[in-house]
Amino acid sequence: MKAFGAFAMPNHAVSDHYIKVVLGPIGGIPILIPAAGEEVVQAILPRLDGLMLTGSRSNVQPGLYAGPPHLEGTPEDPARDATTLPLIRAALERGLPLFAICRGFQELNVALGGTLDQRVQDLPGRLDHSTPVDQALGKVRTGKAHAVRVLPDAVLARCWQGLPWQPAAVPVNSLHNQAVSRPAARLVPEAWAPDGTVEAGHVRESPGFALGVQWHPEYDWAEDALSRRLFEAFGDAARDWAARRTTAPALAAE
């Protein structure tokens, strides 16, 4: 939920980058889920072939993971939190393909019982992940801020099979304050920034595709093969889900 216009009217909104990436490499039709609370979850889930959790300027409310209060002025979105956390749990239980980006990755961890660091840049020995270092004006979203080390046999690595890449030097952008602190028991970290920040992970024992990344591949998928392949892998999982949903009477009847 975001405030727009002179009267700061609440709006249910999403960046155009996410619309274009669904229409592009994912190959689907975007459906925006309103931040209307848990009551929308069971109604919308049977109509979806995949769930993408987007980034946002707002932070997950600290009370949801027993964290300290946010600093004054930190944007929050209680309506989104009240929708996405039960939505994540229900989607995972159902096996619906799920891809979480930035705030979405943080929501995924909290939904499963993990905790967050609120301002990584204030922690000793950590990078400033909120703004890429040495990026030219206009390249803040697409500029590569640091490399991530990726487990060679991880879900993330399998998305990149066939592409030239090195586990210790996969370049990513960086636009976040919050980050995973204690991973949930079911969230398996599989990529890290040079300062140890968890940059990606998959959900253990999930019946379907369930992956999250801390960076923003939606900004440069048109030029970056690594970013594009993540969305293609999610799209493949969603098409497989759609095919099984429409051909399996028991699943279609749920």
Question: Which residues are identified as catalytic?
Answer: 102, 216, 218
| Cβ-count burial 85-119 (b if 16+ within 10 Å, e if not) | bbbbebbbebebbbbbbbbbbbbbbbbbebbbbbb
CA contacts within 13 A on the Cβ side of 64: 26
Residues 126 and 197: beta-carbon distance below 8 Å: yes
For residue 205, the 8-state DSSP code is T
Backbone angles phi, psi at 144, to 5 degrees: -85, 120
Amino acid at 128: D
**HSE value, Cβ hemisphere, 13 Å, CA-based, for 173:** 22
Token pair 């079911």 is found at: 186
The Cα 206–Cα 112 span in angstroms is: 12
Token pair 């991973």 is found at 183
